[in-house]
Structure 1
Amino acid sequence: MPCFIYFIHFLIFPSLSYADEEGLLTRQNYQTERVCHFPESEERPFFIDIPSGPPPRSILLDTVVEPPDAKLEIANVRSNNLAQEQIHDWLSLEKRPNGQFLLFSNDIISQTSSTTTSVNSSLKLPAYPSSINESLLYVTVRCNGRLYPLLTVRLLTHNLHAPEWWIHGIRVADDSVAGEISIPKNSKTFGSLFDTQLLALDQEPAEHYPITFSVDPPLNKYFSIELGNRSSLPINEQRIGMNNNYLHKYYLNY
């Protein structure tokens, strides 16, 4: 009889231990597999435009996650045209107990001399001039073990040199660019070109920062723009005093 009782106890105790372990695994799986919701992005995904090189620790996103106790972290940051090793540590995430979390840019500390350091923003495009004048950053977060594409950041370069406007060989201010074209009454104008004598000059490289023109509605139904021949420009480049390699030269015709 004692042997029989010992045998029963031997069978029961391992069974109870297995049940406890199974319950623990179930609770852990429940915690990691709960679906996360980002209420403020359900109607419209998060998309923001920011200029290159914002102040260090700039807040890009301030929002909430449900459930509030979700385990949240940045999974990865990808770009359409920047190297992964350049951007992998650009962003940080800070979560609070009520479900609110912040996404902000990291500080980049550089040694400018043996005694001096500088703090700069991580969100910075390659130095000017560069073929990259904007970049899309795709931010994916891991929430309770699942991946969620959360945010797209469009990083834009600064326009370092605004175009200069010239009419009939005279430079004019941006807010006073105006001109008149006289078209004879009852003349056959369909398909004709009309010289505007309007010229735009830009010091930034044309191949990377092109100037574009368009006609606003409803006039775009009747007029289009054709760029003039460089050789017909009425302005002396030496008198303008700009480097020919950094000029956009357009002669407009309607």
Structure 2
Amino acid sequence: MTAEGVPAPPDASRLTAGEARALFRRGIVAPSAGWADGYTQANLLIVPADLAYDVLLFAQRNPKACPVLDVLDAGQVTGRLLPDGDIRTDAARYVVYCDGVPVERPTDLLEVWQEDLVTFIIGCSFTFESALRAGGIPIAHIDQGVNVPMFRTDRRCRPAGSLAGPLVVSMRPVSPDRIADAVRITSRYPAVHGAPVHVGDPAALGIADLGSPDFGDPVDLPRGTVPVFWACGVTPQAAVMESRPGLAIGHAPGHMLVTDARDSDYLVP
């Protein structure tokens, strides 16, 4: 059972994207890694129209962390990536920011929705996790049943207008003999963060403690593995927290929008 009392499906990986969104619409709350295998998951950033240009420019200047898959016009609640869905209800969970401070983590946005809100749907590294697992590379957070660990780094993104902030990364431990394979597999998904930004010593990214992620949950690092870090779509939310716009909405980290796109749509030869 979830905190909201809605039963979790016995095998979420076998759901279609529409079935997954329907469960989240009902109020189920769970990290979405491993759900709806083969369907592309996405990060969200939703802002008033007067901030949308800055977000678009921020994404253009920082494409590794903010690969935009689609943008919904002001007030629009559905689109080609969720043709039967509703952006206000269909993500696994949301975060509402006021002046950069997270003030609410609702399961829907019906009470806070405004007709001037523009939605950015941003690529997510969950997209290439199926390919990693198919290649025989375990995913620790899925195997351990927790949310992926995410960390603020000391690397600065290129600012854009009113937005500035640090690069956020997600971490997955990988056996040293499989690191080259992990790089090769994920580099074929440039629209969803692509190859890692760093392998090895977390201190080189300004990360002091892998056991204390800024977002998500810590994972147990299997013996002999090396931490591998990918750019993360929570980066725009870190910029919101630093830049403090009046209103912004994101997905709760690790609780994504499951889209009708297929992971294979973003695979390059």
> What TM-score results when the alignment is normalised by the length of structure 2?
0.21
Task: Tell me which of the two structures has the higher relative contact order, counting C-alpha pairs closer than 8 angstroms and 6 or more residues apart.
Answer: 2
> What TM-score results when the alignment is normalised by the length of structure 1?
0.21
* Structure with the higher fraction of residues in strand conformation: 1
